Amino acid sequence: MKILYAFQGTGNGHVARAQEIIPILKKYASVDTLISGHQSQLKTDFPIDFNHRGVSLLYNKTGGVSYKKILFENNFLEALKTVRQIKLSHYDLIINDYEPLTAWACKLKDLKMLELSHQASMSFLETPKPDKKDFFGDLILKHYCPGKNKIGFHFENYHRQIKKPVIRRKIRDLNPVKKGFYAVYLPSFSDENIIKILGQIPVQWRVFSKYTKIHTKISNVEIYPVDETHFLECFESCDGILCNAGFEGPAEALFMDKKLFVIPIHRQYEQECNACALDKMGVPNSKTLKIEEIQNWVDSDIHIKVNYPDDIEDIILNEVLTF
């Protein structure tokens, strides 16, 4: 069997999931990999066969989606050209983790594709969503990566086609402890904004930033460049995680039994949906960096117990390779 695994490079979650899924697929089939997008700070630990710039969601420095950047810093003509020229018909199975180029190519050429992603879970009515619907955000979720056949991942099994999170082996092998500091990953905020707010909350903060290449410390806030090895060390030994309301990061924090506080990226509807689901589970959140709410979280002892089994190989064997 010849498989193409296409995944999104905007955000670290898609890369983290690919690190776990691709080695399993390669045990049973010949696998090519394709990535598009240019915002992930994680590096793949497997070879990439096709790499495209694609179309990425881009953000301003105050935690919101920047439609101006999306419009002017993406090359839509190049993306359209790739959609038309990409050759997919020789694959027996195309697996897509929210990657728009192959998704649109499959739609236009009427090719069979299975979407295997967190975003796929948003297609089901049972998935928690905010009371106030974001029309434009919902439109992006539906049409950014079009497809009919979907298996989604989410914090809970809201539907029979929604599976619990894929927790990568690098996380499962950690031994969680608490050493009195908090880890922060808020790539949609500038370092200046983070330091200004967290510097007023008297605990130790270790912030991982895509905007810096050197380690700096200002009062009780340390800023580190994004480095997976160091991040995992901090992840293992921190008391809690303050992060955007993505999917894989919060899921890994819950799995590690870490205190969790999430801030959805402004005007990023998927993250607003994630925050809604986490809120129903008891995880605190806010729309932006708010001193009082974060201080209350630091002072609390909120832990959410979850059961995320190591069952991704069974899902691949029984539901993906039989598709």
Asked if pLDDT for residue 112 goes beyond 80, the answer is: yes
Q: What is the reported pLDDT for 46?
A: 81
User: How many Å is the Cα radius of gyration of the chain?
Assistant: 19
Choice among 8-12, 37-41, 311-315 with the minimum mean pLDDT: 37-41
Asked if pLDDT for residue 2 goes beyond 70, the answer is: yes
For 29-52, write each residue's pLDDT tens digit: 999 999 998 655 556 778 899 998
More confident residue, 323 or 255: 255
Phi, psi (5° rounding) for residue 293? Answer: -70, -40
Band the pLDDT of 107: cuts 50, 70, 90: very high
The neighbouring-strand residues paired with 225 are 209
For β-strands 240-244 and 259-263, DSSP reports them as parallel
CA atoms within 13 A on the CB side of 249: 29
Q: What is the reported pLDDT for 63?
A: 52
For 132-189, write each residue's pLDDT tens digit: 888 878 888 888 899 999 999 999 999 999 999 999 999 999 999 999 999 999 988 9
Mean pLDDT (whole number) for 276-298: 96
Q: What is the CATH number of domain 2-168+310-320?
A: 3.40.50
Contact 163, 313 (CB under 8 A): no
Asked if pLDDT for residue 56 goes beyond 90, the answer is: no
Identify each DSSP E strand in the chain by its residue range.
2-8, 30-36, 50-52, 93-97, 114-117, 149-153, 162-163, 181-185, 204-209, 216-218, 221-225, 240-244, 259-263
Topology alike, domains 2-168+310-320 and 171-299: yes
Contact 265, 114 (CB under 8 A): no
Closest residue by Cα to residue 42 from 140, 195, 187: 187
Per-residue tokens: 51: 């790499």
| Beta-carbon contacts of residue 166 (< 8 Å; ≥ 6 apart) | 17, 20, 21, 153, 248, 312
Which overall architecture, per CATH, does domain 171-299 show? Answer: 3-Layer(aba) Sandwich (3.40)
* Domain residue ranges of the chain, discontinuous segments joined by +: 2-168+310-320, 171-299
Mean pLDDT (whole number) for 219-238: 95
Q: What is the reported pLDDT for 134?
A: 84
Compute the mean pLDDT over every residue in the chain, rounded to the nearest whole number: 91
Q: What is the reported pLDDT for 267?
A: 80
Q: pTM value?
A: 0.91
Band the pLDDT of 201: cuts 50, 70, 90: very high
Q: What is the reported pLDDT for 64?
A: 63
Mean pLDDT (whole number) for 60-85: 77
Phi, psi (5° rounding) for residue 57? Answer: -80, 130
Per-residue tokens: 274: 């994630």
| Beta-carbon contacts of residue 53 (< 8 Å; ≥ 6 apart) | 36, 37, 38, 74, 75, 78, 79
Mean pLDDT (whole number) for 98-125: 95
For 263-276, write each residue's pLDDT tens digit: 998 888 999 999 99
More confident residue, 221 or 77: 221
Spatial separation of the C-alpha atoms in residues 143 and 130, rounded to whole Å: 20
Asked if pLDDT for residue 236 goes beyond 60, the answer is: yes
Band the pLDDT of 61: cuts 50, 70, 90: low
Contact 259, 283 (CB under 8 A): no
Contact 2, 91 (CB under 8 A): yes
